[in-house]
Structure 1
């Protein structure tokens, strides 16, 4: 996959803007056999994502803000480069330098991209955090990272104010859309850029120099900060080109509802697309299926990254008129298993084969599909992305036979692999077994090399001697006509060790009842097996999701354990 060599060069814009630059479509075996990594000695994310394009085509559009029925607002590479340089100079004047952590707590916006690039220019470390975090979650991460500066939206000031006194390392706060006369220790984002005339030289960073801390989702315990080097963007380029089928092509334009504070939004979409010269569409509005259709049609979106939950919501919306207006070329999906029914819906209704892929915050986009390259199968993640070595290991650290469940492991070194957990050497050591990064996720590889996700080690349900992965049961539940969302966990049981319990959000207009619960149970028992059907079903109004759109099973697991304990006391 020789395109990787070109992507690392300083002449990237010339190649990326030229249609003849594209690698001819090849099959998976050819791409994998030809692949080689060749990382440059010097690499800075900001220079790669803004400066190269700013020199070659300063007016080229890099970001597009959708504003509903109002005209969209755009930003060019020249302005992105200049604004991020001025902000970097202003940050440096406030004492931010090499290795300092800068928290970025913003929605999808022009300012978010500018802030990220400014931090990378300084050789500082960006810490993206979601605005939806409450005080406890936000304070934990800010304190753990030791943030020296925080860049906030005014809508997040109240939450931030509740934890600010507990952050001894914090020295300054920059506010987006704040009051011009705010004074005190709060600085106005736009004023900083407008009133800073000088710029600074980018730090002489290399691929392995730290650039970014992304906190894990916290679905299995306290969040840990995964520290990534500048190389992480280079490492994602082969994957994004693979999943979006020879990306970019003429006219490509990408969108995701995923928060840019999460690896899915930041590393699967924003930063790689900026480097490749693809306009990134964004909106500050919360995801709604009907509006998502209209947004993609309005902005001529050709490529989308949509978590499985978002795809299921689109399928449930059934907005046929809006579907006819779409110009989509590719859809990639990750973050949770893609149900076979949703996969087939997209092929039928959108005329697109969704390319699923897999990764973790610590090591992303290492397994995946690409229908155009001959890798696609309903119910499977796909195969190893060219450039990455992935295996399924048993408890003894050896590869398991085909058809046998094992733990997904990634061979080190790998450009997408994290450097370490921030200030947690013990956790870092525990993440590896020899040369392998151990994900903790269970999967099965078939004879053709396709990997099907089973579940996390701690999500596995043990019932009457059977080990049951929640993903398969959840996918079956979602195929029922009344079910909108579902989460499956193990509930302690004195006879079977655990029973399968399902928490279900019903589609609009579907009332929960004992009769419906029995019908759903019968449906799953018929579709799967007697030991996998949920012996208990609870109807809930909403599903707790992480900022990346994953269902937080931990909450339901804790609820199920509490219910079992209460029943045991009676």
Structure 2
């Protein structure tokens, strides 16, 4: 494939002046299969024609409740209605806010409150999770009778989706993206699946579509490219269920997060019939790449990006051999630099992406100072450290304290804030501790108030019930005092060093 989608013949972005992602995703023939639905007892193939009817039905209902530019939450698991909800919101010019069903009350409340969501599209399960949150709800599955709904006349920089990312301080930040964000993902998605779009291709991921990796690395690119996408629910990753989904859905292309790959390897699983496997979030290493070639029958293509600017580098086994420990080469359309200060360096430095990339955010929602701090001149800082090996980019590590656990990026500040609401907790510091299976586990160092009592199980449940079941501290250590700065801030690097020394014993 000489030319990647979204780019001109010179490898530069080719984005029309008027662009709406709903039109972009529904441009295939009506009788072509859009979504293979495995969420029920059997298999249901949803065509583009049927999906368009679902989108228009939702869009008609939405126009009675919201206006262009309003934020609308989507609290749905993998399903045809999940993609229809986002498409309907984009079609009328509103802004979708993906929400995750593993979130608990406080995590949902912070995202809904910060975004100012006018409405949440959900189902009965999601309504129960929202509980007493003062936000109007609308059922996702509604009637589809009526004519088509015209798409809003949006441009590539008009806001379309607000995706929350974990950070190290304060509440999670919302990365606001325009309608160009999908186009910005297409070259890297195609590349990471050895030129996705071959006859018989069918794409699936166990990652939830509430995350940018599920929504824009899999679901929406598949629709835009005319590749069937499989919708299947796994409350918890299960090796045998994974094999069933691949077989029943006739899956040929999979995005497996690194933890899923490790679990498959630990179970000595073998999956046949795949044409491509992509993975991203953290480097895999030579051993995992060798296992993938043997057990999955393909080279695992690693890719790199983040919520603020995704799919910027990738491997592509069909074009070049992967290099263990590296996260691929820059995808066409993206200019990546490793900076020392303001200047590129041949040594280790800050990984940065030049402004103008189509998948780059418009900015953080209502946080102009933090948006400005994300940039250094013409470069967006990723917060990662890297080094060039020829034209391969090697990931060195994070500059901040974000914890990578089982494929999730977890901000320690949100967990610390949650634990501090417990009546027995005086101070707390949260860091990531090395773990062979999950990359890191969340570890909390806790100081209790004088005379107060609480055990680890009680505090773990406290976080599980309020934030998310995946982000609770799997380890809690009680201390008499935490390392503090003169201004009273917890010195996380000292706690991190302590956790690293413990992790080295694993």
By percentage of residues, which structure has more helix?
1
Bigger shift: residues 138-147 or 349-358:
349-358
- Asked whether the 8 Å contact 1:4–1:36 carries over to 2, the reply is no
1:73 to 28, 44, 52: 44
The TM-score normalised by the length of structure 1 is 0.71
Asked which structure has the greater CA Rg, the reply is 1
Check conservation: 2:55, 2:84, Cα contact below 8 A.
Answer: yes
1:314 Cα offset (Å): 0.8
User: Structure 1 residue aligned with 2:204, among 228, 231, 255?
Assistant: 255
CA distance in 1 between partners of 2:437 and 2:53 (Å)? 49
Residues 54-453 of structure 1: pairs in structure 2 closer than 5 A: 57-67=29-39, 70-94=41-65, 96-164=66-134, 170=135, 172-176=136-140, 189-190=141-142, 193-194=143-144, 196-218=145-167, 221-286=170-235, 287-320=237-270, 323=271, 326-394=272-340, 396-401=341-346, 404-446=347-389, 448-453=390-395
Alpha carbons of structure 1 residues 506 and 356: separation in structure 2 relative to 1, 3 Å: closer
Return the alpha-carbon distance in structure 2 between the equivalents of residues 501 and 205 of structure 1: 42
Unaligned residue ranges in structure 1 (runs of 5+): 9-30, 165-169, 177-188, 461-469, 479-484, 490-499, 508-540
Distance 2:295 2:107 in 1: 39
Equivalences, count: 437
Q: Is the 8 A contact 2:102 2:469 kept in 1?
A: no
**Which digits, 9 at most, give the CA deviation of each residue in 1:359-395, with x for residues without a partner?**
010000001111111151111111111110001112x
Q: What is the rounded CA distance, in whole Å, between the counterparts of 1:35 and 1:59 in structure 2?
A: 32
Quote how far apart the aligned CAs of 1:298 are: 2.2
Identify if the C-alpha distance between structure 1 residues 564 and 269 changes in structure 2 by more than 3 Å, giving closer, same or farther. farther
Tell me how far 1:198 sits from its aligned partner.
4.1
The answer for unaligned runs of 5 or more in structure 2 is 413-430, 439-459, 485-506
In structure 2, relative to structure 1, the CA distance for the partners of 1:120 and 1:305 (3 Å cut) is same
Superposed CA offset, 1:115-168 (max 9, x none): 11100111100001101101000000001000011111211222212322xxxx
CA distance in 2, matches of 1:44, 1:343: 38
Q: Secondary structure in 2 aligned to 1:371?
A: coil
Closer, same or farther: CA 506–208 of 1 in aligned 2, 3 Å? closer
* Residues 103, 469 of structure 2: 8 Å contact kept: no
TM (norm. structure 2) is 0.79
Q: Distance in 2 between matches of 1:567 and 1:430?
A: 27
| Residue 456 of structure 1 pairs with residue 398 of structure 2 | yes
Query: How many Å apart are 1:241 and its aligned residue?
Result: 1.1
Instruction: Report the CA distance shift for 1:273/1:361 in structure 2 as closer, same or farther (over 3 A).
Output: same
Report if the CA contact (8 A) 1:89-1:198 is conserved: no
Q: 1:264 & 1:67 partners in 2: Cα distance?
A: 20
On the 8 A contact 1:253/1:280 being kept in 2, the answer is: yes
Deviation at 1:272, TM superposition (A): 0.8
Q: How far did 1:565 drift?
A: 3.0
Q: Greater relative contact order: 1 or 2 (C-alpha under 8 angstroms, separation 6 or more)?
A: 2
Change (3 A) 1:290 1:221: farther
Q: Report how far residue 300 of structure 1 moved.
A: 1.5
Which of 212-221 and 275-284 deviates more? 212-221
* 1:493-524 Cα distance to aligned partner (Å, 9 max, x none): xxxxxxx99454789xxxxxxxxxxxxxxxxx
